[in-house]
Chain A
Amino acid sequence: MRVLVAMSGGVDSSVAAALLREQGHEVVGATLKLWGGDSDSGCCSVADVEDARRVAEQVGIVHHVFNFTDAFEEAVVRPYVEDHVAGRTPNPCIECNRRVKFGVLLGRARRLGFDLLATGHHARVARWPTGPRLLRGADRAKDQSYVLAMLGSRDLEHLIFPVGALTKAEVRARAARLGLRTAGKPDSQDVCFIGSQAGRGRFLAARTTLHPGELVDARSSTVVGTVPAVELVTLGQRRGLGAARDGKRRYALRVDVHARRVVVGSLDAAVACEVHVEAPTWVDRPLRRGERALAQTSAHGRPARCTWAGGSLRFEEPQRLVAPGQTVAFYDVQCPDAVVGAAVAA
């Protein structure tokens, strides 16, 4: 088959390219230039592109660089800023997957005559008789099915994740055995376009106005403190909110960016049994009302049993608050590795 492999310059996609080649596919590598702005995170750096190109040369495949900075700005960066302004907690990696990697890149791969698009994600595509299903990666600690949960079976038909069946240690061992220069490269961290030094606050402050907010105690309704930017507070957050007089840590129970107010309280109040969601997507069929599933609300969170209530889900046991904008990934209760669909917390 003709396979286009997206190569970030990291070890996973390097090994993905090598595996595809070993399997006898016709393989072409492409590195995406996504971020045009400044960043000290090394995102889209010339060094990463060089790593990808050198690995492609080693593996013996042609390598191209695709410029998707415009699509990335429009589909990922701008919504990221707008979500913060609206008091939501976006997941830009998921938006990038949805609209850039498995949106414009997949479209390009199809136009250029490729049968499959491959990435270095730790997830698997199972070709079941009923259609393709997305499964968790074999390495549970590195599993990335959560950030891919919005892919439907029609996308999955054209996708392959060659390292999903390997553990990270196996990936690194393979890279080392092949002498790939990326074998020892550290994993990427956090949001690629935000520098580790400047951080989210400085990035957002350059693009929008951030407002100080007051912390209001849930029980006493008195102001107990302030935060420098209410837009940066996430529902359920603990960090930076201080402690109550009894020494208990405070958690964000409600964030109201318009009133510039964060209601804070104790951990036992920072839970809920119901999460309202919007924009659900399903791998092949929607969950039925009342059908049970496992819900995961963060990249490496623990899946919890729930019931789909159509527009919301009900957990069997109270769970930590889910911030609006966060993705909820649904997994199959019968086959807990299989993704059923995804939705966004309202």
Chain B
Amino acid sequence: MIGRAGSVVRVRAYLDHAATTPMRPQAVAAMLPFLTEAGCFGNPSGGHSVAREARRALDEARDSVARDLGCEPGEVVFTSGGTESDNLAVLGSHVATGGEVACSAVEHHAVLRACESARGTTVAVDDSGKLRIDALADALHPGVGVVSVMLANNEVGTIQPIAEVAAVVRDRAPGAILHTDAVAGVGWLDVAFAVGAADLVSVSAHKFGGPKGVGALVVRDNVRIEPRMLGGEQERGRRAGTHDVAGIVGMAAALSAATTGHGEQVTRTKLLRDRLAEGVLASVEGAFESAVPAGACPAHDREGKLVSSFHVRFDGIVAEELLYLLDEAGICASAGAACASGALEPSHVLLAMGLTPAEARSAVRFSLGVATTEAEIDHVLDVLPELVGRLRS
């Protein structure tokens, strides 16, 4: 990595796992044969021995993913990642049902833009980023064909009440397909529970230690969606295109590792996140943890958020500047979404939660992963107060 003046910036704390994660060793090991070994390069749609070897790997990966997500293998549609899964879910069911689209105002852009393109409506959230069930009920009617509400928010970590959402959808828009974008939740939440409550569920491999460019959409057995990628008959006609066998195998291995170690990983990460959050709030004045209502007990309220997420706003600073100084100190964190040029835009999530644009520009997201260490957290706690102070002086 080039640092300033060509010097090397040593990464001392990678706290941007919500953007992407390093690959789990199990995923790398599972993929390698399909990248390097003779006879492992086959196209699983073929009929000869090389194709059959690839087919076997694909079938096993599908079984494994289905087991970990709590669905049948035939319900797993492999895609190129979270964005494609979300697009396929929202637009594929919009076309199939002919019904209107409704989604929460804090969805990932992969859902939000798809909803916009179908002239759908967005449903308000409260100041903690949680979907307002009353607003959802108001927005729903029998003409709604798709409802999309994420399992957990990728920016601020707020967990959405999917069971309540499902109940309201059943009541107010019985014909609607319920999609949940579980991309941010895999590894931290019980995704099988979401699969049980929703009709469509998106996941993305690189958010839980798998490779980039591969994901899946769970399509429950009784649900019909129209494909968005047209071509071959792969994925039972729901998604055309030659399978990325290595990527799919890597995703299955990563998901399996995430599922096996789930309890231990959650406990450990939560301890580190709380250490970070409490350390920052104690040492920096004018620091406000996002999605925690004023006066609430932060520790208690964090129950409603991903254990991997600490989203915080610092009065009187611009996140762009703090991220710059953090980067210089070897700390990788992020804020909001970047536009095509790479410039930070004020987060639509924070604006939907009622923050002013200036407040939204002062917020930073630290997101932890399974490999995050105490030393990384302590490095942040060491340097952050001084950096914030410098920007305020």
Say if A and B assemble together. yes
Q: What would 4 more interface pairs be, CB under 8 Å, given A25-B5, A45-B341? A: A21-B5, A49-B341, A67-B344, A111-B391
With contact pairs A33-B341, A65-B342 given, residues A111 and B5 touching in the complex (Cβ less than 8 Å): no
Residues on A lying within 8 angstroms of B by beta carbon are 2, 21, 25-28, 31, 33, 44-46, 49, 53, 57, 60-62, 64-67, 69-70, 108, 111-113
Q: Which residues of B contact A112 (CB under 8 A)?
A: 321, 324-325
Query: What's the Cα separation between A21 and B390 when bound, in Å?
Result: 26
- B357 on interface, CB distance cutoff 8 Å: yes
Contact B343 A33 (CB under 8 A): yes
With contact pairs A67-B320, A112-B321, A112-B324 given, residues A61 and B5 touching in the complex (Cβ less than 8 Å): yes
Contact A62 B342 (CB under 8 A): no
Contact A44 B321 (CB under 8 A): no
Q: Which residue of A lies closest to B317 (CB)?
A: A111
A44: contacting residue among B4, B341, B357, CB under 8 A:
B341
By the criterion of a CB under 8 Å from any partner CB, how many residues of chain B are at the interface? 23
- B297 on interface, CB distance cutoff 8 Å: no
Q: Which residues of B contact A108 (CB under 8 A)?
A: 318, 321
Contact A33 B339 (CB under 8 A): yes
Query: What's the Cα separation between A48 and B320 when bound, in Å?
Result: 20
**Number of residue pairs spanning A and B whose beta carbons lie under 8 angstroms apart:** 55
Q: Which residue of B lies closest to A108 (CB)?
A: B321
Q: Which residues of A contact B5 (CB under 8 A)?
A: 21, 25-27, 61
Write the nearest CB–CB distance from A235 to chain B, whole angstroms. 38
Contact B321 A67 (CB under 8 A): no
Write the nearest CB–CB distance from B128 to chain A, whole angstroms. 26
Interface secondary structure of B, over-half rule: mixed
- B2 on interface, CB distance cutoff 8 Å: yes
Q: Which residues of B contact A57 (CB under 8 A)?
A: 2
Q: Which of B105-131 contact A (CB under 8 A)?
A: none
Q: Which residues of A contact B325 (CB under 8 A)?
A: 112-113
Q: Mark B325-351, 1 if CB is under 8 A from A, else 0.
A: 100000000000011111111000000
Write the nearest CB–CB distance from A13 to chain B, whole angstroms. 16
Residue in B338, B343, B393 with the greatest tally of chain A CB atoms within 10 Å: B343
Write the nearest CB–CB distance from B205 to chain A, whole angstroms. 27
Q: Which residues of B contact A49 (CB under 8 A)?
A: 341-342
Contact B343 A66 (CB under 8 A): yes
Write the nearest CB–CB distance from A330 to chain B, whole angstroms. 35
- B3 on interface, CB distance cutoff 8 Å: yes
B321: contacting residue among A26, A65, A111, CB under 8 A:
A111
Contact B4 A61 (CB under 8 A): yes
Q: Which 3 A-B pairs have the closest CB atoms?
A: A33-B343, A67-B343, A26-B5
Q: Which residues of B contact A21 (CB under 8 A)?
A: 5
Write the nearest CB–CB distance from B58 to chain A, whole angstroms. 37
Write the nearest CB–CB distance from A189 to chain B, whole angstroms. 20
B2: contacting residue among A31, A60, A67, CB under 8 A:
A60
